[in-house]
Amino acid sequence: MLIILNLAVIFMVYVDKKIYKTFLTPFTVVALTFLLMIDLNNLFISDIYGYYKVSDFSILVLLGFIAVVFAVACLFGYFWYAPKCRVAVKPKFDIEKRINYKFVIIIFLIGLAAYFISLLRDINAYGFGNLKGKASGIFAHLSQLAFLIAPLLWSHSKSIKSKIISFCLIALTFFMAFLYGGKYGILINFVYIMMYMLIRKDSNVKRILKYIAVIGLAGLGVFIVVYAVIPSFTSSGADNSSNLAFSIEHFFYYLLSPIIANNHCFTHPNASDSNIPFTVIINIGKALSGDKNYVNPIFGPDFACGQDRVTNVSGLFGEVVYCLGWGGILYIIVIFALIYIIFVMFKLKGMYKLTLSYLLSSLLFSFFCNFYTVSGVVLPIMFLFAFETYFQLIRRKSDAKRVSDNNAKLERLAGHDRMS
């Protein structure tokens, strides 16, 4: 079954590349990520650490979901993207040229200051070594602005001096995130910046592989810092060598346990709360109505992934089936249709570059869990979409005014010629 999966995914990626002329598509990001995790676990890591293998049935179901995403990609490609490519298009929208550098600096510093205030408050309340999961409140939400605007901060930095300053500011933001110990926030935001750097210019395979290597090493680095470096400073008598060995093993456990958990989810469809896939929408409604009985998207540690090893995440597809049953296929179709609307608008018109970068980042981690149930992921996507839409509307108005002024000028010239 593993051979069939590899051959099928490689074929679909080839067709997808033919349609969109790039490997950086939502389908390819999802398909190759799932393929890599399954191969890595079943061929290597499961034997080293004693993890369960992904079953043939789970591989078959995952291949089915990958095929569904491929079908969505083909439909948007053949019926929207390809026909529009044959027609001459206007110059593409470039968010970098529409936003003033000073404005970018101000937004970033607001986010950085909010992060610093939040960190000081939480250190005072919980202590330096107990910060994990404690970020909350208005300052914690505002701190996300620093991450979201970081790609523009970097791309606006043209001189060596400005690049050094931007790098230090962005690094400081990630350092504070490290102190909080939340891994998914660090990794998603780091990959978001990497994705932006990749899609802002045409990237060949060599450049993409280079960024993938950086992302992989960064992921391992996060675990070493969180589970080996920080404990050596916060815990007296910590054994650094055992912490390092644990951090490496925990990296693979964290990386592969969700893909293994599909074994449970696909054999127990519709076994959990059907509200979970719609957590963010439901909880926004509850917040607006004053209802504090929020939906909790976190599963119990129900999914076995090895001897005495369990997890509470099982990837986008596994969690959807676990909550919605096989009818969750419709949920997947809707999610990817929305993503492909953004993707095709970017490919054709250059619109929603930041939003697409964040979406691709979240898709890269779709093997881990359904991040579209996490407000810390969905709200930034909504903010970026609104942010970019605003500047695109401004551009449309300025373009319309310029056309109107040109027409008025031509009419005045025509009137002058008639009088002459």
**Per the domain annotation, does 108 fall within a domain?**
no
Nearest Cα residue to 383 out of 371, 375, 373 = 375
Please give the tally of structural domains in the chain: 1
Band (pLDDT 50/70/90 cuts) for residue 176 is confident
Does the pLDDT at position 420 exceed 60?
no
pLDDT tens-place string over residues 64-115: 999 999 999 999 999 998 888 766 556 677 788 888 888 999 999 999 999 9
Bridge partners of residue 400, in order along the sequence? none
Among positive and negative, which fits the CA dihedral 392, 394, 400, 406? negative
Question: Is the Cβ–Cβ distance between 324 and 274 less than 8 Å?
Answer: yes
- Dump pLDDT digits (tens) for 384-415: 999 999 988 886 666 666 656 565 566 666 65
The first and second tokens of residue 374, run together, are 């996490």
Compute the CA torsion angle 325, 331, 333, 335 (nearest 10 deg): -140
Distance CA 238, CA 228 (A): 9
Q: Is residue 214 part of a domain?
A: yes
Cα(183)–Cα(126) distance, integer angstroms: 19
- Residue, of 299 and 106, whose pLDDT is higher: 106
The model's pTM is 0.89
Average pLDDT over residues 32-52: 94
- For residues 276 and 252, is the Cβ–Cβ distance under 8 A? no
177 assigned to some structural domain: no
Lowest mean pLDDT among 67-81, 222-236, 270-284, 362-376: 222-236
- Per-residue pLDDT, 246: 77
- Give domain status of residue 103, yes or no: no
* Residue type, position 266, single letter: F
Q: Is residue 94 included in any domain, yes or no?
A: no
Residue 198 located in a structural domain: yes
pLDDT of residue 412: 64
Q: Find out whether 150 and 173 touch, Cβ atoms under 8 Å.
A: yes
Q: In the predicted model, is pLDDT for residue 240 greater than 60?
A: no
Q: What is the pLDDT of residues 307-322, one digit of tens each?
A: 888 999 999 999 999 9
Give the residue, 221 or 349, on which the prediction is more confident. 349
Ramachandran angles phi, psi of 304, nearest 5°: -75, 135
pLDDT at 337: 97
305: three-class secondary structure by DSSP = strand
Residue positions counted in the chain:
420
Instruction: Answer for the pair 182, 141: CB distance below 8 angstroms, yes or no.
Output: no
Residue 385 lies in a domain: yes
pLDDT at 12 over 80: yes
Computed over every residue of the chain, the mean pLDDT equals 86
Tokens standing for residue 324: 């919605």
User: In this predicted structure, which of 144-148, 248-252, 275-279, 393-397 has the lowest mean pLDDT?
Assistant: 393-397
- Inside any domain, residue 158: no
- What local confidence, expressed as pLDDT, does residue 70 receive? 98
The span from the CA of 195 to the CA of 415, in Å, is: 53
Per-residue pLDDT at 286 exceeds 80: yes
The amino acid at residue 360 is: L
Domain coverage including residue 329:
2-88+182-419
